[in-house]
Amino acid sequence: MRLAFLSPAKVNLDLLVLGKREDGYHEIETILQTVALYDRIFLELGQSGINLVVPDMLPAGAGNLCYEAAAAFYGATGISPALTVYLEKNIPIEAGLGGGSSNAAVVLHGLNVLYGFPLDEADLVSIAAHIGSDVPFFLRGGTARATGRGETIIPLPDAPCRWLRIVKPPFGLSTKEVYQRWIPTAGFKRPPRHNDLEQVALGLYPQLGMVRASLLGDGAIDVMLCGSGSAMCGFYHSRPVAMLSLPAGYREYIVPTLTSTECLVNFRGERKP
């Protein structure tokens, strides 16, 4: 049997970095929001082992979060691995949009569906937290507050629906490098909606300032860096119509926010022959 799932991206509505922890991670507080920008994942049982069919720019084994999620599921349940994962990638990588974490959550949840729910919700959340910081969030989606290194999730009422224009530059940013370069700023008066990593990203790639200015000039009510970048997101009350005039290599995506209910509907999966 093969099941198809949509794997949504996320943006950050706020991101506060509190400091570096003894384990090397940073303590953060952030508001996460799923958006209707999707990868598509097909899970098929049958072939022995954990097999990945993925785009060339991604690893097809250990190091791919889809693989890590499948290995964690089989390890927790004691079931012999017999899975092929087909990944159609649409969420840009190294963008701060959480594509890899979303993919991992979908594989984890999808395997639980295919095998008749051997794991309960608490088991899934615990496994997800060991795979990656954003993975637990994608098991529910919608709007949520994340604390710790991002793995502790507190569901929030769904934020009002907004339209977003997400701009992905022709370069990516390493989450590890951005956090390593973050420096606390004493006396900084923090605005209500702010990403503390944005100044680091702007220091690495000043071109992001042009993206911010273009989004504000287009009528965005607010603009934020997505996670650790490199994508920037403009928020709008209604759907933007015209495309921005951006240099070659810049991609843009116009999408609405997603509620937790919409995410859970996607999680039902679609049977494929």
* pLDDT tens, position by position, 36-52: 999 999 999 999 999 99
Do 83 and 47 touch, CB atoms closer than 8 A? yes
* pLDDT band at residue 188 under the 50/70/90 scheme: low
Same domain, 46 and 153: yes
Is 39 part of the annotated catalytic residue set?
no
Is 10 part of the annotated catalytic residue set?
yes
CB proximity list for 90: less than 8 A, separation 6 or greater: 37, 38, 39, 40
pLDDT of residue 271: 74
| Residue 118, domain extent | 2-157+259-272
Whichever domain contains 204, its CATH number is: 3.30.70.890
Same domain, 185 and 68: no
- The mean pLDDT value for 73-79 works out to 98
* pLDDT band at residue 247 under the 50/70/90 scheme: confident
Whether the pLDDT of residue 246 is over 90: the answer is no
Tell me what the pLDDT averaged over the chain comes to.
92
pLDDT of residue 19: 87
Same domain, 93 and 221: no
Q: Per the residue annotation, which of 134, 158, 168, 196 is the catalytic one?
A: 134
* pLDDT band at residue 209 under the 50/70/90 scheme: very high
SS (H, E, C) 57-125: CCCCCCCCHHHHHHHHHHHHHCCCCEEEEEEECCCCCCCCCCHHHHHHHHHHHHHHHHCCCCCCHHHHH
Same domain, 208 and 235: yes
pLDDT of residue 2: 86
Q: Which CA distances in Å does 108 have to 143, 145, 195, 255?
A: 20, 21, 29, 25
pLDDT above 90 covers what percent of the chain?
77
Same domain, 118 and 49: yes
Please count the other Cβ atoms lying within 10 Å of the Cβ belonging to residue 79. Answer: 13
Look at 242 and 235; give whichever has higher pLDDT: 235
Sign of CA dihedral 89, 94, 99, 104: positive
pLDDT of residue 167: 97
Same domain, 79 and 106: yes
Whether the pLDDT of residue 272 is over 80: the answer is no
Q: Per the residue annotation, which of 10, 14, 39, 158 is the catalytic one?
A: 10
- What's the domain count of the chain? 2
Same domain, 189 and 107: no
* pLDDT band at residue 189 under the 50/70/90 scheme: low
pLDDT of residue 273: 62
Same domain, 6 and 86: yes
Whether the pLDDT of residue 211 is over 90: the answer is yes
Selection from 196, 262, 186, 272 nearest residue 228 by Cα:
196
Same domain, 46 and 30: yes
Whether the pLDDT of residue 70 is over 70: the answer is yes
Whichever domain contains 100, its CATH number is: 3.30.230.10
Same domain, 123 and 193: no
pLDDT of residue 187: 58
Same domain, 146 and 48: yes
What pTM, to 2 d.p., does this model score? 0.93
Cα separation, 172 vs 224, whole angstroms:
16
* pLDDT band at residue 268 under the 50/70/90 scheme: confident
Same domain, 121 and 202: no
